[in-house]
Structure 1
Amino acid sequence: MSATKSTSTTGVRIVVAGDRGTGKSSLIITAAAESFPTNVPPVLPPTRLPEDMFPEHVPVTVIDTSSSLENRGKLADELKRADAVVLTYACDEPSTLDRLSTFWLPELRRLEVKVPVIVAGCKLDLRDEQQAVSLELVMSPIMQQFREIETCIECSAYKHIQIPEVFYYAQKAVLHPTAPLFDQEAQTLKPRCVRALKRIFILCDHDRDGALSDAELNDFQVKCFNAPLQPSEIVGVKRVVQEKLPEGVNENGLTLTGFLFLHALFIEKGRLETTWTVLRKYGYNNDIRLGDDQLLPPIKRTPDQSVELTSEAVEFLRGVFTLFDSDGDGALNAHELEDLFSTAPESPWNEAPYANAAEKNALGGLSLDGFLSEWAFMTILDPVLSVENLIYIGYAGDPSSAVRVTRKRRVDRKKQSSDRNVFQCFVFGPKEAGKSSLLHSLVGRQFSEVYTPTTEERYAVNTVDQPDDALAACDIAVFVHDSSNGSSWTRATELLVQVASHGESTGYEVPCLIVAAKDDLEPYPTAIQDSTRVSQDMGIEAPIPISTKLGDFNNVFRRIVRAAEHPHLSIPETEAGKTRKQYHRVLNRSLMVVSVGAAVAIVGLAAYRVYATRKNTSS
Structure 2
Amino acid sequence: MVGRSSFGDRKGVRIAVVGDGGTGKSTLIAAMASESFPDSVPPVLPPTRLPHNLYPDSVPITLIDTPSSLEKQGARNEELKIADAVVVTYACDEPVTFDRLGTYWLIELQRLEVKAPVVVVGCKMDLRDEDQVVSLESLTSYLMQQFREIVTCVECSAATLYQVPEVFYFAQKAVLHPVGPLFDYERHAFTDRCVRALRRIFVLCDNDMDGALNDEELNEFQVKCFNEGLQPTEVARVKALVEQNVPEGVNSLGLTFPGFTYVHNIFLKKGRTETFWAVLRKFGYDNDLKLRDDFLPVPSKQASDQSVELTSEAVEFLNGIFRLLDTDKDRSLRPSEVDKLFNTAPESPWNDAPYKDAAEKTDMGYIPLNGFLSQWALMTLLDPPHSLANLVYIGYSGNPASALRLTRKRSVDRKKQKTERSVFQCYVFGSKNAGKSALLHSLLGRPFSSNYTPTKVEQYAANVVELIGGTKKTLILCEIPEDGVLKLLSNQDCLAACDVAVFVYDSSDEYSWKKSRDLLEKVVRHGELTGYRVPCLLIAAKDDLNPYPRAVIDSVKVTQELGIEAPIHVSMKSGDSSNVYNKIVNAAEHPHLSIPETEIARKRKQNQQLLHHSLIFALVGAVVTVVGLKVSRARSVKKNFSA
CA contact (8 A) 1:296 1:388 kept: no
CA contact (8 A) 1:25 1:42 kept: yes
Over residues 4-49 of structure 1, what are the superposed CA-to-partner deviations in whole Å (9 max), with x where a residue is unaligned? x966542222111111111112222222222222222212222233
Which residue in the other structure is 1:549 paired with?
573
CA–CA separation in structure 2 for the residues paired with 1:582 and 1:487: 35
Distance 1:128 1:567, change over 3 A: same
Instruction: State the percentage of identical aligned residues.
Output: 61
Alignment of 1:423 onto 2:424: yes
User: What TM-score results when the alignment is normalised by the length of structure 2?
Assistant: 0.92
Which residue in the other structure is 1:348 paired with?
349
CA–CA separation in structure 1 for the residues paired with 2:213 and 2:621: 86
The equivalent position to 1:596 in structure 2, one of 620, 626, 632, is 620
CA–CA separation in structure 1 for the residues paired with 2:7 and 2:566: 59
**2:390 is aligned with what amino acid?**
N
**1:341 is aligned with what amino acid?**
F
Shift of 1:52: 4.2
**1:46 is aligned with what amino acid?**
P
Which residue in the other structure is 1:357 paired with?
358
Which residue in the other structure is 1:569 paired with?
593
Distance 1:298 1:88, change over 3 A: farther
CA–CA separation in structure 1 for the residues paired with 2:33 and 2:626: 89
Which residue in the other structure is 1:521 paired with?
545
CA–CA separation in structure 2 for the residues paired with 1:45 and 1:597: 79
**2:20 is aligned with what amino acid?**
D
User: What TM-score results when the alignment is normalised by the length of structure 1?
Assistant: 0.96
CA–CA separation in structure 1 for the residues paired with 2:615 and 2:20: 83
Which residue in the other structure is 1:49 paired with?
50
**1:234 is aligned with what amino acid?**
V
Which residue in the other structure is 1:22 paired with?
23
Over residues 219-264 of structure 1, what are the superposed CA-to-partner deviations in whole Å (9 max), with x where a residue is unaligned? 1111111222121111111111111111111111001111012112
What is the SS of the residue equivalent to 1:515? strand
Alignment of 1:478 onto 2:505: no
Unaligned runs of 5+ in 1: none
CA–CA separation in structure 2 for the residues paired with 1:565 and 1:28: 68
- What is the aligned length? 615
Which residue in the other structure is 1:462 paired with?
463
CA contact (8 A) 2:467 2:582 kept: yes
**1:236 is aligned with what amino acid?**
R
Which residue in the other structure is 1:448 paired with?
449
CA–CA separation in structure 1 for the residues paired with 2:154 and 2:451: 63
Q: What pairs up with 1:357-506 in 2 under 5 angstroms?
A: 357-470=358-471, 475-506=499-530
CA–CA separation in structure 1 for the residues paired with 2:151 and 2:371: 46
Over residues 242-300 of structure 1, what are the superposed CA-to-partner deviations in whole Å (9 max), with x where a residue is unaligned? 11111111111001111012112221222211211101111211111111211125603
Which residue in the other structure is 2:482 paired with?
none
Which residue in the other structure is 1:296 paired with?
297
Distance 1:363 1:205, change over 3 A: same
CA contact (8 A) 1:500 1:509 kept: yes
Which residue in the other structure is 1:200 paired with?
201
- Which stretch has the larger CA shift, 505-514 or 394-403? 394-403
What is the SS of the residue equivalent to 1:418? coil
Which residue in the other structure is 1:125 paired with?
126
**1:349 is aligned with what amino acid?**
W
Which residue in the other structure is 1:98 paired with?
99
Over residues 66-125 of structure 1, what are the superposed CA-to-partner deviations in whole Å (9 max), with x where a residue is unaligned? 111121111111111211111111111111111001100011111111111111111122
Alignment of 1:241 onto 2:242: yes
What is the SS of the residue equivalent to 1:554? coil
- Which stretch has the larger CA shift, 466-475 or 543-552? 466-475
**2:284 is aligned with what amino acid?**
G
CA–CA separation in structure 1 for the residues paired with 2:298 and 2:549: 57
CA–CA separation in structure 1 for the residues paired with 2:148 and 2:328: 43
Over residues 445-504 of structure 1, what are the superposed CA-to-partner deviations in whole Å (9 max), with x where a residue is unaligned? 121111101111111111100112457597000010000012211111111122122222
**2:520 is aligned with what amino acid?**
L
Shift of 1:586: 2.3
CA contact (8 A) 2:465 2:472 kept: no
CA contact (8 A) 1:326 1:336 kept: no
Alignment of 1:161 onto 2:185: no
What is the SS of the residue equivalent to 2:619? helix
Over residues 369-427 of structure 1, what are the superposed CA-to-partner deviations in whole Å (9 max), with x where a residue is unaligned? 11111111111111121111111111222222111111121221122211110111000
CA contact (8 A) 2:429 2:519 kept: yes
CA–CA separation in structure 2 for the residues paired with 1:595 and 1:99: 89
CA–CA separation in structure 2 for the residues paired with 1:57 and 1:418: 52
CA contact (8 A) 1:418 1:471 kept: no
Shift of 1:191: 0.9
Over residues 490-524 of structure 1, what are the superposed CA-to-partner deviations in whole Å (9 max), with x where a residue is unaligned? 11111112212222222221001110000000001
Unaligned runs of 5+ in 2: 1-5, 476-497
Shift of 1:610: 4.2
CA contact (8 A) 1:310 1:404 kept: yes
Shift of 1:527: 3.1
CA contact (8 A) 2:299 2:404 kept: no
CA contact (8 A) 2:298 2:404 kept: no
CA–CA separation in structure 2 for the residues paired with 1:293 and 1:278: 17
CA contact (8 A) 1:428 1:477 kept: yes
CA–CA separation in structure 2 for the residues paired with 1:432 and 1:564: 26
**2:515 is aligned with what amino acid?**
R
Shift of 1:433: 0.8
What is the SS of the residue equivalent to 1:150? strand
**1:321 is aligned with what amino acid?**
F
Over residues 555-602 of structure 1, what are the superposed CA-to-partner deviations in whole Å (9 max), with x where a residue is unaligned? 000011112111222111112111212222222222232222223333
Shift of 1:615: 5.1
CA–CA separation in structure 1 for the residues paired with 2:54 and 2:619: 82
CA contact (8 A) 2:86 2:119 kept: yes
Over residues 146-200 of structure 1, what are the superposed CA-to-partner deviations in whole Å (9 max), with x where a residue is unaligned? 0111111122222332221111211111111110110012111111111111111
What is the SS of the residue equivalent to 1:359? coil
The equivalent position to 1:509 in structure 2, one of 523, 533, 556, is 533
What is the SS of the residue equivalent to 1:156? coil
What is the SS of the residue equivalent to 2:549? coil
Which residue in the other structure is 1:277 paired with?
278
CA contact (8 A) 1:80 1:113 kept: yes
What is the SS of the residue equivalent to 1:480? strand
The equivalent position to 1:530 in structure 2, one of 551, 554, 558, is 554
CA–CA separation in structure 2 for the residues paired with 1:471 and 1:215: 45
CA contact (8 A) 1:211 1:256 kept: yes
CA contact (8 A) 2:388 2:400 kept: yes
The equivalent position to 1:558 in structure 2, one of 574, 582, 587, is 582
What is the SS of the residue equivalent to 1:354? coil
CA contact (8 A) 1:14 1:84 kept: yes
CA contact (8 A) 1:509 1:571 kept: yes
CA contact (8 A) 1:7 1:175 kept: no
What is the SS of the residue equivalent to 2:49? strand
- Which stretch has the larger CA shift, 11-20 or 590-599? 590-599
CA contact (8 A) 2:214 2:255 kept: yes
Which residue in the other structure is 2:606 paired with?
582
Alignment of 1:172 onto 2:178: no
**1:572 is aligned with what amino acid?**
P
CA contact (8 A) 2:305 2:409 kept: yes
CA–CA separation in structure 1 for the residues paired with 2:303 and 2:227: 45
Shift of 1:311: 0.8
The equivalent position to 1:539 in structure 2, one of 563, 585, 601, is 563
Which residue in the other structure is 1:213 paired with?
214
